[in-house]
Chains A and B, each alone.
Chain A
Amino acid sequence: MYPRPIPETARSARAAYIALVVGVLILWLLPLVTVMLTSLRSFEEVMAGNYWGWPKSFNFIENYTAVFKQTALARYFINSLIITLPSVVGVLVLATLTGYVLSRHRFAGNRLVFALFVGGNFLPAQIMMIPVRDLMVSLGFYDTYFALIIFHTAFQTGFATLFMRNFIAALPDELFQAARAEGASPWQTLWHVVVPLIRPALAALAILTFTFVWNDYFWAIVLTQSDAVKPVTAGLNNLRGEWVSAWNLVAAATIMVAIPPVAMFFLMQRHFIAGLTMGAVKG
């Protein structure tokens, strides 16, 4: 290991190390902590300018219920779910299919198709903005859930294909030879050999795609405009404009928007990190 591990016997060195790490962590997360603190304060306190003193009262429940009752945040949350969940399912299905074919079937242009998936994934969103917006307008999908679901599914399929192709390519060859010897059709091979083995990859992709789609802001403002469709990211920016002086409520909304991806991350951390590093390091 590098740096050299602090030995178990060096008790005081270990304690000092932990103290140092906690200190750095507090500094690292300080911006977020201040927002959390503000989200607990009362409106009077915020108006009086007490942003840093000890809160006179803890308005946790009041603020967080107010943000759902008085603003459209609940609507934005539902919108985000309606957009994110189908996109994740769509990406998993499409990427399993493309990843399987690209890793296990030789055909002319295989490498080119793969390179297009990988390269397209790195394109800046702005390069496709005008035609995508135009396409959604002409299909009648502009300012509907479909616009965002279709776009996110398409875009995330690029990264997911890279990921799935590498994962399936790393599976042992013998399995596929055996399947062929048994006379299994491509569909049977996919369903009975590949799918059971790629569960960890599917889990990692699901959490990554969820986070990417949930956190998207650019496409949310390009493809939607009404509150009935807008996801939380665009919604939060709206709330900030509407509730200029009610910083405690804006802070509560900010924290609420951050909770789903952070919670997902803590629940599935192993998959998230494995996915991110495998997707990046191997591909």
Chain B
Amino acid sequence: MEQWLSSVIDPYYQQVLMLVGIYIIAALGLNLITGLCGQLTFGHAAFLSIGAYTAAILTRDFHLPFILSLVLGGLMAALFGILLGIPVLRLTGDYLGIATLGFGEIVRVAFTNMKITGGAIGLAAIPRASNLINVTFFVILAVAAVVLLENSRFGRALKAIREDEIAAEAMGINAMWYKIQAFGIGCFLAGISGGFYAHLLQYLNPNDFGFLKSFEILNFVVLGGLGSIPGTIVGTTVLTLAPEFLRFVQEYRMMIYGLLLVLMMIFRPHGLLGGVNFRRLLRRRKQKATALSS
């Protein structure tokens, strides 16, 4: 199967596509926390790294099967997410953002100083177990899960908390508990994403998971449109591919990338697909068509 794939898709493009998929999984998690539930977090990369290191150590040193390590890495990230969430989710808005930013840095420094993670040298010789098939499979699984979640009773409660936490509590929603759950699920997805990342690049360094990475993932979600699942997917794809397709401009690459972000925020401040309700859009199209014909 894999051999057949590499005969159809160039290995370089395979790698890029896998990265897109891996970031989509992480961004979907962040979209759940920030987009749907409205909790600002700047430490998403930390959970990516927790999942990445956990899964990598499990496959490399303990020879556990890849998928099992991946799920355990996700659970480890979720566990840390919940442990962090219990104290910090009492905070709101920017305060929560700063607290999660701080946590992200703590994790990075901890991984730099731990023996089992290889410290500052990093963790090398991780088996290459990520391939386009298992990444795609998990992307589909993650998309299906978040779509189901969003349209459930649970998802509605998260939206209500985003809109107005006090009113949500007045409706009988245990806001704190729901926020912790959302945070846990979001971190689980980050952990899964990290596991794939580790088994794609085969090398981990704590510095790859600093706050810049957290902001990069936040960028994906904001550019696509906070709270929109299709937006998150499109945003991640565009922003992951852009630096690759901009390689021809060489050193101006990141400048153009930055310019793209600035222009985006000016012309579509709610993101590419933010505030777009597909069902309503279709209805409006129909109305326009009938109005024109009559």
* A is bound by B: no
Binding site for A on B (CB under 8 A): none
